[in-house]
Amino acid sequence: QQLDFLVIHLNAIDAAFIPDVDKKSLRDQLHQDYATYC
């Protein structure tokens, strides 16, 4: 379930019109958040 949460957010980041550099920092932040939740 938590993995679904992560995948949904990664897909949302990919779908958004965000520069790749910002996507990378968003991804890193999301992974940190995910690690905190687990």
pLDDT in tens, 13-29: 777 777 777 878 888 88
Q: How many angstroms separate the CA atoms of 3 and 17, rounded?
A: 23
For residue 35, the surrounding DSSP H or E stretch is helix 20-37
Q: Please, what is the angle between helix 20-37 and helix 2-15, to 10°?
A: 170
Residue 12: pLDDT over 70: yes
Residue 1: pLDDT over 80: no
Amino acid identity, residue 30? L
Q: Is the dihedral of CA 17, 26, 9, 4 positive or negative?
A: positive
Domain boundaries, the chain: 2-37
Q: Would you state the pLDDT for residue 24? A: 85
Q: Would you state the pLDDT for residue 38? A: 62
- pTM score: 0.45
Residue 2's SS3 state is helix
Residue 32: pLDDT over 80: yes
